[in-house]
Structure 1
Amino acid sequence: WVGKFLSSSNGRIDKFVVIISISKTITAIYRFGVFYGDAKTRNILVNGQHLIIVNFKKTIIPDRAPLGSIFTNAKFKRKYGPF
């Protein structure tokens, strides 16, 4: 592991800093279109003063719309021959 579980930090880290850091991190993840659905203390690791969010198993990444129109190649296919 890269850190210890937040739940086992025994109050050695400022709770206000933890809440702000987790909030900013989950907001940043959300801005990329990723919905993190498992924000629990067992999924947050502490390494020094750094927080690490783990366990993205319940994460939802919605399908993205294409950037432009999509055309099939059907009108460009040859009518005769194997290719």
Structure 2
Amino acid sequence: MNIADKLKDENPFIQKFLGVKGGFGKDFGVADDFIATMVKAVGNYGEIYDRNLGPTTPYFIDRAGTPNASWTKGGAEYSPPWN
């Protein structure tokens, strides 16, 4: 699933979170769609990590078995469910 798919989601929380209908931007003094704009620009956490520290970089720091891994893989990274 990608951000374009999520922008079409009918879940009211997702619509507000991504700024499709309403949003949280006013609370921070930015546009309501700031989260969707950020994800489109830089990617999600895994994409950012891989691009900067992953297997195609000179650093190659594997996320597996570290706090940078998803909580489902023993790490500390947790994202609430979208649905």
TM-score (norm 1): 0.23
Q: Which has the larger Rg?
A: 1
Q: Which has the higher contact order (CA 8 A, sep 6+)?
A: 1
Larger proportion of strand: 1
Structure having the larger proportion of residues in helix: 2
